[in-house]
């Protein structure tokens, strides 16, 4: 596809192109704007666990669009039409929906992302009309709906979720998935084999259904490994984690003399 810019993001995701993203949790539009110019295919603002409310999503989407490089996404707080509609009205080109357990819940997320007759999204694109759409059919094509696979229910109903019409992708939340598998904490080695089996099955099931499969990763090397395993998009860490890591590394270097 010749156009690799933000406007083609949903189409590229659906085509299972390899995409790399970045995660922001801080309500820091200038920092997000800097990150958005680096070359990531998308930058996702975390509205579930991140340190920002709706005005922060709006500022983040505006900052990302200012660079014209990355597509803006929002992980919404819940599978709810109000939150999903708000994220899309703010200009998100895709949403990541947490804690989806079965096909019915996945179908609801899809419906919240689409205008009638294909969904139930309410028309009021206050900012998104400047970037996405504004005609409903155009907006439906231009935004991506991704649901998270991170619960025991989602694993049990994985094939049915991936087969939901209109769903563009699934996304692994490794921390909650580890807990769902019986882990005591994220990264628990006691469930490492079960985790590896589950993540391999998620990638294969998504591929069989012809939809995208994404993974939340702690660093770029892990993102590369997940893409090599068959995942089609991967997100790298977060601004807050990297801020702390960089500060710690500089402190260590300064003290080493």
Q: Would you please indicate which residues are annotated as catalytic (active-site) residues?
A: 49
**Nearest partner of 132 among 46, 55, 66, 65, judged by Cα:** 65
Pairing of strands 169-172, 144-149: parallel
172: CB partners within 8 A, 6+ apart: 148, 149, 150, 199, 202, 213, 214, 215, 216, 231
Q: What CA–CA distance (Å, rounded) separates 30 from 15?
A: 32
- What single DSSP character describes residue 257? -
Q: What CA–CA distance (Å, rounded) separates 47 from 76?
A: 5
Q: What CA–CA distance (Å, rounded) separates 236 from 102?
A: 27
| Distance set, CA 17 to CA 1, 11, 110, 245, 250 (Å) | 10, 9, 21, 30, 36
Q: Token pair of 88, please?
A: 């899309």
């Amino acid at each position: 596809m010749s156009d690799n810019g933000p406007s083609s993001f949903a189409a590229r995701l659906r085509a299972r192109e390899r995409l790399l993203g970045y995660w922001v949790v801080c309500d820091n539009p200038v920092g997000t704007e800097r990150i958005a110019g680096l070359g990531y295919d998308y930058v996702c603002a975390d509205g579930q666990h991140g340190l920002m409310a709706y005005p922060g999503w709006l500022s983040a989407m505006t900052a990302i669009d200012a660079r014209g490089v990355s597509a803006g996404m929002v992980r919404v707080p819940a599978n709810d039409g109000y939150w999903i509609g708000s994220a899309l009205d703010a200009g998100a080109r895709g949403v990541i929906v947490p804690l989806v357990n079965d096909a019915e819940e996945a179908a609801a997320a899809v419906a919240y992302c689409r205008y009638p007759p294909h969904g139930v999204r309410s028309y009021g694109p206050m900012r998104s009309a400047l970037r996405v759409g504004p005609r409903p059919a155009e907006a439906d094509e231009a935004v991506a709906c991704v649901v998270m696979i991170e619960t025991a229910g989602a694993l049990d109903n994985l094939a049915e979720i991936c087969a939901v019409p209109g769903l563009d992708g699934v996304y692994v939340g490794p921390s909650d998935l580890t807990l769902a598998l019986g882990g005591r904490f994220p990264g628990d080695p006691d469930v490492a084999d079960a985790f590896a089996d589950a993540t391999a099955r998620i990638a294969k099931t998504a591929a069989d259904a012809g939809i995208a499969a994404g993974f939340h990763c702690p660093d770029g090397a892990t993102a590369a490994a997940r893409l090599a395993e068959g995942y089609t998009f991967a997100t790298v860490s977060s601004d807050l984690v990297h801020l702390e890591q960089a500060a710690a590394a500089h402190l260590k270097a300064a003290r080493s003399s």
